[in-house]
């Protein structure tokens, strides 16, 4: 691989940044997309959340974007959505306590409080209300509770039917782990019941479009969460990964339809979800992801994939599933990795923070070569960090890559978590 050629290409395409004015060229390339995805190479880096918030605010304020959808549970995100639409006596800090699935720091952090407060102010002063939604698949019992609560008020007869179907899960007492374990002995599980409940709910509907959309989405989550836990236990991790990302894609499609034909959405998720899977080794393992699926569905010209990465610094993570929150060192990027090349280019770029755009990359460009690209998960061992790199053709994986040479850990709010809930990113936490 021609390292000097790669560095020259990076420098030629780089834009240093200090404030949002420096992002004007990137914003110009994003503003007319139907979907803009903003990634992160860790789930615990302060600057990733700060800059994604600023970019999202610009797209919302000046370019008509309709919602932010994140790698989080639908019910907890709907609590945020209701708070920013019609603020209650609760503060943004208190509302984020609804994120009770480990790792709570992914969304329960001070940087998210600032974004929520901004969204509250925007929605209070604008006729164009912005939504905040979750894309993920884990919330089996929370989604059941939401459906029953909604139906008891809106349609008691349908509520009784739904309770009958979902009573299949009652023996496990809101314990997702217990249900997943039961599939070893009884592989049929509640697969039939969740399918029938979804069909019943979709057929009957509700008078309120927003209420019906929320209920239908929860019913889809229950079906796909059951499929996900089944796949983890019985079919292997690759299949469960695909169920999760296909669910994210379906949710994104449903959100765009719900917000109307001219709607535009912003997605926040790990680089491993938003960077096109076809430009990594994921495709060799039979895995797909949200970014690649969106390009396939909407067309590459309608989707912008923007990765975020760092060379060194600190990060919030844990040494074990359901483990304690720790501030860990992020070692310097591995020699030969994308991150090490970005770091080496700093003297030529003239600033330690910059972004690189990948439009019109010519065939044979060093930007198309495969190199390791950092991916830090919620379970992290810095001493073994050399394995945390995804082989990537960077110019095919993203439309742009934001690089911050040295970054700091998030500021968690310190909420406790429910040990009965399967952790976010399970079983892939060490990878993303």
User: What pLDDT is recorded for position 415?
Assistant: 58
125-183: pLDDT as tens digits: 999 999 999 999 999 999 999 999 999 988 899 999 999 999 999 999 888 889 989 99
Task: Average the pLDDT over 5-32 and give the result.
Answer: 97
User: What pLDDT is recorded for position 117?
Assistant: 96
Let me know if residue 214 belongs to a domain: yes
Let me know if residue 418 belongs to a domain: no
Task: Average the pLDDT over 66-83 and give the result.
Answer: 97
> Given pLDDT bands bounded at 50, 70 and 90, which one contains residue 300?
very high
- Same domain, residue pair 213 and 325: no
Let me know if residue 110 belongs to a domain: yes
Tokens representing 342? Answer: 């970005």
Gap between the Cα atoms of 38 and 68, Å rounded: 10
Q: What percent of the chain has pLDDT over 90?
A: 80
Measured CA angle at 211 (ends 208, 215), to 5 deg = 135
User: What pLDDT is recorded for position 238?
Assistant: 57
Instruction: Supply the CATH number for residue 48's domain.
Output: 3.40.1660.10
Q: What is the mean pLDDT of the chain?
A: 92
Contact 11, 349 (CB under 8 A): yes
3-state secondary structure of 305: strand
Lowest-pLDDT range, 11-20, 116-125, 322-331? 322-331
Let me know if residue 431 belongs to a domain: no
> Given pLDDT bands bounded at 50, 70 and 90, which one contains residue 30?
very high
Let me know if residue 414 belongs to a domain: no
Contact 294, 37 (CB under 8 A): yes
- Same domain, residue pair 71 and 128: yes
Q: pLDDT: is 21 or 387 the higher one? A: 21
User: Where do the DSSP E strands lie in 293-385?
Assistant: 303-317, 326-330, 353-357, 370-374
Looking at 192, 224, 246, the residue that finishes a domain is 246
Let me know if residue 424 belongs to a domain: no
What string of DSSP letters covers 5-71?
Answer: HHHHHHHHTEEE-SSGGGGHHHHHHHTT-SEEEE--S-SSBHHHHHHHHHHHHHHHHHH---EEEES
User: Any idea how long the chain is?
Assistant: 432
User: What pLDDT is recorded for position 72?
Assistant: 96
Gap between the Cα atoms of 349 and 353, Å rounded: 9
Give φ, ψ of 401 to 5 degrees: -135, 125
Let me know if residue 304 belongs to a domain: yes
> Given pLDDT bands bounded at 50, 70 and 90, which one contains residue 425?
low
228-264: pLDDT as tens digits: 988 888 776 558 999 999 999 999 999 999 999 999 9
Q: pLDDT: is 423 or 126 the higher one? A: 126
Gap between the Cα atoms of 17 and 199, Å rounded: 50
Give φ, ψ of 375 to 5 degrees: -145, 105
- Same domain, residue pair 145 and 159: yes
> Given pLDDT bands bounded at 50, 70 and 90, which one contains residue 323?
confident
Give φ, ψ of 409 to 5 degrees: -70, 150
- Same domain, residue pair 74 and 190: no
- Same domain, residue pair 32 and 125: yes
Number of domains observed in the structure of the chain = 2
- Same domain, residue pair 94 and 183: no
Residue 155 vs residues 15, 74, 171, 249: alpha-carbon distances, Å: 55, 22, 25, 30
- Picking from 26, 48, 9, 31, the residue whose alpha carbon sits closest to that of residue 403 is 48
- Same domain, residue pair 183 and 263: no
- Same domain, residue pair 233 and 284: no
Contact 269, 134 (CB under 8 A): no
Tokens representing 84? Answer: 């920013």
Tokens representing 61? Answer: 């304020």
Q: Please report, to the nearest 10 degrees, the dihedral formed by the alpha carbons of residues 17, 19, 22, 25 taken in order.
A: 110
Lowest-pLDDT range, 51-55, 325-329, 343-347? 325-329
Let me know if residue 157 belongs to a domain: yes
Q: Is 23 left (phi over 0), alpha (psi -120 to 50) or beta?
A: alpha
The residue range of the domain holding 129 is: 3-136+258-407
- Same domain, residue pair 89 and 198: no
User: What pLDDT is recorded for position 204?
Assistant: 81
């Amino acid at each position: 691989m021609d390292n000097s050629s790669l560095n020259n290409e990076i420098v030629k395409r780089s834009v240093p940044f200090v404030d949002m004015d420096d992002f004007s060229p990137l914003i110009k390339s994003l503003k007319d997309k139907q979907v803009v995805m903003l990634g992160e190479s860790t789930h615990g880096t302060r600057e990733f959340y700060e800059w994604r918030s600023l970019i999202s605010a610009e797209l919302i304020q000046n370019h008509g974007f309709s919602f932010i959808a994140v790698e989080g549970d639908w019910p907890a995100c709907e609590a945020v959505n209701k708070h920013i639409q019609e603020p209650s006596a609760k503060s943004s800090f208190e509302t984020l306590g609804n994120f009770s699935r480990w790792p709570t720091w992914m969304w329960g952090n001070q940087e998210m409080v600032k974004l929520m407060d901004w969204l509250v102010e925007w929605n209070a002063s604008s006729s164009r209300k912005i939504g905040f939604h979750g894309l993920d698949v884990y919330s089996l019992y929370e989604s059941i509770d939401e459906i029953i609560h909604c139906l008891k008020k809106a349609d008691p007869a349908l509520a009784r039917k739904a309770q009958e179907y979902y009573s299949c899960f009652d023996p496990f007492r809101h314990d997702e782990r217990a249900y997943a374990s039961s599939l070893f002995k009884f592989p049929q599980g509640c697969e039939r019941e969740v399918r029938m409940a979804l069909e019943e709910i979709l057929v009957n509907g509700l008078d309120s479009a927003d209420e019906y959309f929320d209920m239908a989405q929860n019913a889809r989550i229950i079906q796909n969460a059951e499929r996900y836990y089944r796949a983890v236990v019985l079919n292997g991790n690759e299949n469960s990964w695909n169920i999760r990302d296909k669910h994210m894609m379906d949710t994104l499609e449903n959100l765009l339809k719900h917000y109307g034909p001219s709607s535009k959405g912003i997605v926040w998720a790990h680089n491993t979800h938003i960077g096109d899977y076809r430009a990594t080794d994921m495709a060799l393992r039979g895995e797909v992801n949200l970014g690649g699926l969106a390009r396939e569905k909407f067309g590459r010209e309608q989707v912008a994939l923007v990765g975020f990465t760092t060379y060194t610094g600190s990060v919030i993570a844990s040494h074990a599933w359901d483990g304690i929150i720790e501030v860990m060192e992020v070692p310097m990027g591995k020699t030969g990795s994308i991150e090490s090349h970005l770091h080496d280019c700093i003297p030529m770029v003239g600033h330690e923070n910059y972004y690189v755009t990948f439009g019109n990359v010519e065939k044979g460009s060093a930007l198309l070569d495969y190199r390791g690209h950092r991916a830090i998960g919620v379970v992290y061992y810095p001493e073994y960090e050399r394995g945390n790199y995804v082989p990537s053709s960077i110019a095919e994986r993203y439309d742009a890559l934001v690089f911050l040479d040295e970054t700091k850990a998030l500021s968690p709010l310190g909420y406790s978590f429910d040990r009965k809930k399967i952790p976010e990113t399970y079983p892939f936490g060490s990878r993303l």
